[in-house]
Amino acid sequence: MGWRGPTKRSSGRDFTQGAIDLDDRELVQALTRLEKITKRRVTQKVLRRAAAPIRADAKRRVPEKSGRLKRSIKTYVSVRRYGGFGRVESREPYAHLVELGTKPHIQKRKLRHEKRARRWIHPGAKPKPFLRPAFDSHREESVEIARKTLREEINTVTKG
């Protein structure tokens, strides 16, 4: 079972990457003995709870103009055969530009009533990281939450 921080998505956007591995053999073995449906539910709950402090801190750190970027920060959980992973990310098309910044570049834009596109030099933007610092500052806390929640969930499922 692991935790992945901001990642590089298939669309080619460059996010920084981080991972947390939960290496508690006893807990992972107990989880593998659970039924398939129960294992999925428990793993999703563990990953969502572990991601909560990272998501909350990322929402607190994000620069806010319209609020779209802040609202778009969500937790995505995927459970596979031998474990699962969770991601805290924003799927806004410009999130990586805010996180990592941009170099000066030429922009083109054509309005409907214009015959030719306008060109101007964009001065670039300084990076305003919000996902990476949130991940780095809550890594240990997330591991502890995951261990505690996993232990509690396994105990409730096996007793009930």
Under a CB-based contact definition with an 8 Å cutoff, are residues 58 and 154 in contact?
no
- From CA 16, how far away is CA 101, in angstroms rounded? 12
- What is the DSSP code string of 72-96? HEEEEEEEETTEEEEEEEE--TTHH
Q: Is 12 helix (H, G, I), strand (E, B) or coil?
A: coil
Token reading at 17? 């990457």
User: Residue 17 has what pLDDT?
Assistant: 54
Report the predicted TM-score, pTM, of the whole model to 2 decimal places.
0.76
- The answer on pLDDT for 13 being more than 70 is no
Q: What share of the chain is helix, strand, coil (3-state, %, to 5)?
A: 45, 20, 30
Range 133-151 average pLDDT:
94
| Residue 71 pLDDT exceeds 50 | yes
In terms of average pLDDT, the best of 20-29, 81-90, 116-125 is 116-125
User: Mean pLDDT for the chain?
Assistant: 84
